[in-house]
């Protein structure tokens, strides 16, 4: 009984943190230190949300996919334009110089581990509204395919199914 009460309290506290950090489009890992959207943080956050808020889970991933590059790169970081003092910011990365960079989002030019398909699957498996979950999977499918194509095309030079890390922050 006491163990169950502790678990319930932890769940309530975790939800409170997620609720506090929700921007309406994505969840900030930390409002002061990390006010932007990090790729794999959002994937793990969507896994958490899918247990109790399907709409937030899908919105979390949709916002990230909106910043996907034309070549399929899913950026490590999507900058929040309200927080301009963060370093290294968009001017550090010069991502906009790439013809593949997204037009409407400032991003880094590096990636994080590709766990997004797993997150999308969790969102589907735990969905309360299966029709909405299928719509989300249809939306995500081509974007996830482009992401994995990018990894195999740009990050697997030997064609052996092993992608490499290009930057130490990846």
Q: Which of 137, 147, 150 has its CA nearest to residue 54?
A: 137
CB 165 within 8 A of CB 111: no
Q: Which two tokens stand for residue 12?
A: 């309530």
Mean pLDDT to the nearest integer, 121-143: 97
Q: Which of 17, 86, 29 has its CA nearest to residue 60?
A: 29
Tell me: the pLDDT tens digits for 59-105? 999 999 999 999 999 999 999 999 999 999 999 999 999 999 999 99
Q: Which two tokens stand for residue 85?
A: 């003092």
pLDDT at residue 160, as a whole number: 95
**Is residue 138 pLDDT above 90, yes or no?**
yes
pLDDT at residue 89, as a whole number: 93
CATH number of 2-154: 1.50.10.10
- Give the Cα separation of 168 and 95 in Å (integer): 17
Domain boundaries in the chain? 2-154
**Is residue 2 pLDDT above 90, yes or no?**
no
Q: Which of 107, 43, 100, 62 has its CA nearest to residue 81?
A: 107
**Is residue 124 pLDDT above 90, yes or no?**
yes
pLDDT at residue 106, as a whole number: 98
Please name the residues in contact with 148: beta carbons below 8 A apart, sequence gap of 6 or more: 72, 114, 117
Percent above pLDDT 90 for the chain: 95
pLDDT at residue 120, as a whole number: 98
CB 47 within 8 A of CB 33: no
CB 106 within 8 A of CB 135: no
Q: Which two tokens stand for residue 162?
A: 């092993």
CB 39 within 8 A of CB 8: no
Place 42 in a pLDDT band, splitting at 50, 70 and 90: very high
For the chain, the average pLDDT equals 96
């Amino acid at each position: 009984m006491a163990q169950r009460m502790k678990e319930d309290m932890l769940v309530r506290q975790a939800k409170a943190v997620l609720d506090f950090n929700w921007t309406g489009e994505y969840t900030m890992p930390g409002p002061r230190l990390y006010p932007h959207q990090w790729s794999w943080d959002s994937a793990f956050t969507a896994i958490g949300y899918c247990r109790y808020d399907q709409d937030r889970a899908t919105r979390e991933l949709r916002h990230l996919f909106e910043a996907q590059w034309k070549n399929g790169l899913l950026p490590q970081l999507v900058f929040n334009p309200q927080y301009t003092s963060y370093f290294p910011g968009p001017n550090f990365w010069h991502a906009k110089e790439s013809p593949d960079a997204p037009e409407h989002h400032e991003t880094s030019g590096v990636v994080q581990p590709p766990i997004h398909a797993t997150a999308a699957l969790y969102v589907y498996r735990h969905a309360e509204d299966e029709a909405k979950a299928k719509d989300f999977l249809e939306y995500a499918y081509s974007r996830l395919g482009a992401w994995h194509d990018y990894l195999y095309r740009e990050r697997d030079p030997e064609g052996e199914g092993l992608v490499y890390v290009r930057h130490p922050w990846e």
